[in-house]
Structure 1
Amino acid sequence: MKNKVSIIYVEDDASSAEILTLYLERQGYKVNHFDNAADAKRALANLNFDLAIFDIMLPKGDGMELLQLAVSKQLPSIMVTAKITESERLLGFELGADDYVCKPYSPREVVSRVQALLKRTQKPNMVVDTLKFGKLEISPHNKLVTLASKPLKLTALEYALLICLAKRPLQIVSREQLITLVWQGATDITDRTVDTHLANLRKKLADSKKSPIFIATHYGQGYQFIASKTA
C-alpha cells in the first residue's frame, strides 16, 4: 500500500489550523500540525516529511527559521502569512520558499497549491538518464544535482527551473513560459519572482551573469540554457 504524503503544518491560530487540516486530510494527506516554532523545529530535525506549510508569525520562534531548516533538508515549502508586501514575499523566496499564500485565504486554494507543488517535486516513477553538461550533472531519477562532483542543495523550485531549461538547450524560454511550465500558470507569480529564483540558482551554480556558463539572460526575451551536453 502506498504511504500517505506527510505534511508538517505550523500555524498557531487554532481555527485556521483545524479547517485547513480537515481539507488536507480529505485529500488523503497525513498532516502533522504544530502550534509553535520550537516543537516544529524538533519535528523537522527528527522526522521525515514530504512538504511543509509554515506561518511566519509563531510563538517560540518564527516561520523563517523553520523555512531555512526545511530548505536545508530539501523539503518543498509553502509560506502562509498575513504579510503581503512584495519585499517580504521576495525575502521568503530568497530563503528558499517554493510558494506563498497570503491571509485570508481559501483552504481549497492552499490544497490546490499543495497538489501543484507535490506534482512538480515528487520523484518520477521512470528512471531517466543523467543529464551531463561538463562539470554539471542532473539526475532526474533522484533529483540529484552535482557540480564538479559536489552535490548542490537546490530548492524544489530551483531544481524545477534548472531541469526545465536544461531540457530545452539553446532555446530562449520566456518568463511567461517558465510561469506556465514551473508554476502551472499561477496568476500571482510575477516576473520578479522568476528572476529571484533564477538568481538564487545561478549563485549555487557559480554562474556569472556577465559571462555565464550555464544560463544566459536575454533581456526582454527570457533565459537560455547554453551549456553543451556531454556524454
Structure 2
Amino acid sequence: MAKILIVEDEKPISDLINMSLTQAGYLCVCEYNGMNAADRIERESFDLILLDIMLPEVDGYELMDYIRPLSIPVIFLTAKSSVSDRVKGLKLGADDYLTKPFEIIELLARVESVLRRYHQNQHVINIDGLTIDIMSRTVLKDGIAVNLTKKEYELLLLFVQNKNIALFRETIYEKIWENDSMGDSRTVDLHVQRLRKKIGWEDKIIAVYKVGYRLEV
C-alpha cells in the first residue's frame, strides 16, 4: 500500500483527494501549509507527495527544494497553468504537473503512473543496514549476503514497501502465499520469526496485538 502526502491548503479539495485515493487503496496523510508538511516529511516516509504551489508559510516551490534530495516523487497540483509555471515545476524536479480544476479520474491515473515509474526505477533499496537488490533478488546485511528463502525475501520486500504500516496477518498471507492453501496465520508467524533472526530485525518487525506486524524504521 503506497503512502501519499497531500499538501493542499483548500480543505474541500484536500478532503476530496483524500477520499478518492483512500477508496483506491492508498494510505493518505493531509497537511495544509508548507511548514507543517516539511515537519511531517522529516518524521515519516512517503511514496508520493501531491503538492500545491500556493501554500501558506512555505510555498510549493520552496518545499520542493527540501523534498528533492529525499528522492520522493512529486506531482504538483496548482491553479498556475502557464507554460512557464509548468516548466519551472518540472525543472525543480517534479514528476508531473496537474492544473486545477482537474478530474479525479485523471489524478488517479497520474498517481498510478508516477508510482509505477518510480518503483520500476528503484532497483536497489537501502534501509537500516540492509541493501535489497530487486533485480537480482539479493539481500546484504552490512555488506554480507543474507541467505533468504523465496517467501522470506518476498516477506521482507512487503514490509519494506509498507514500512511503519501495520499489516494484518491475513493481508500478509494473501500477498505472499496467494492461493496456496497449505498455510495459515502460524505460517506467517514462523516466517516472520525466521526473517527477523536472519536479518537482525528482532526489534524492528514488531508484533501488533490482534492485527499482525509492523516494520518500524
TM normalised by structure 1 equals: 0.52
Using the aligned pairs only, state the percent identity: 34
- Which stretches in structure 1 are left out of the alignment for 5+ residues? 128-138, 143-231
- In structure 1, distance between residues paired with 2:115 and 2:73: 8
The CA deviation string for residues 141-181 of structure 1, in whole angstroms up to 9 with x for no partner, is 49xxxxxxxxxxxxxxxxxxxxxxxxxxxxxxxxxxxxxxx
1:71 is displaced (CA, Å) by 1.4
- In structure 1, distance between residues paired with 2:101 and 2:79: 7
Aligned to 2:35: 38
Q: Which stretch shifts more, 61-70 or 50-59?
A: 61-70
1:120 is displaced (CA, Å) by 0.8
Matched, 1:98 2:95: yes
AA aligned to 1:102 is T
Aligned to 1:88: 85
Secondary structure of 1:58 counterpart? coil
AA aligned to 1:16 is I
1:60 is displaced (CA, Å) by 1.4
The CA deviation string for residues 109-165 of structure 1, in whole angstroms up to 9 with x for no partner, is 1111000001111157988xxxxxxxxxxx8849xxxxxxxxxxxxxxxxxxxxxxx
Aligned to 2:72: 75
TM normalised by structure 2 equals: 0.55
- In structure 1, distance between residues paired with 2:16 and 2:59: 22
Whichever structure has more helix as a proportion of its residues is 2
The CA deviation string for residues 46-93 of structure 1, in whole angstroms up to 9 with x for no partner, is 211000100000111101122222211000000000001111110111
Matched, 1:118 2:111: no
- In structure 2, distance between residues paired with 1:58 and 1:125: 30
- In structure 2, distance between residues paired with 1:125 and 1:96: 16
Matches of residues 204-219 of structure 1 in structure 2 within 5 Å?
none
| Residues 44 and 69, structure 1, Cα contact 8 Å, conserved in 2 | no
- In structure 1, distance between residues paired with 2:3 and 2:46: 5
- In structure 2, distance between residues paired with 1:126 and 1:99: 21
AA aligned to 2:103 is S
- In structure 2, distance between residues paired with 1:62 and 1:126: 32
- In structure 1, distance between residues paired with 2:56 and 2:123: 43
- In structure 2, distance between residues paired with 1:71 and 1:126: 19
1:45 is displaced (CA, Å) by 1.6
Aligned to 2:106: 109
Aligned to 1:8: 5
- In structure 2, distance between residues paired with 1:118 and 1:69: 20
Matches of residues 49-198 of structure 1 in structure 2 within 5 Å?
49-123=46-120, 141=135
Question: RMSD value over aligned CA atoms?
Answer: 2.2
Shift in alpha-carbon separation, 1:126–1:85, aligned structure 2, 3 A: closer
| Residues 7 and 31, structure 1, Cα contact 8 Å, conserved in 2 | yes
AA aligned to 1:7 is I
- In structure 2, distance between residues paired with 1:7 and 1:32: 6
AA aligned to 1:119 is R
| Residues 53 and 78, structure 1, Cα contact 8 Å, conserved in 2 | yes
Aligned to 1:28: 25
| Residues 123 and 134, structure 2, Cα contact 8 Å, conserved in 1 | no
Shift in alpha-carbon separation, 1:124–1:99, aligned structure 2, 3 A: closer
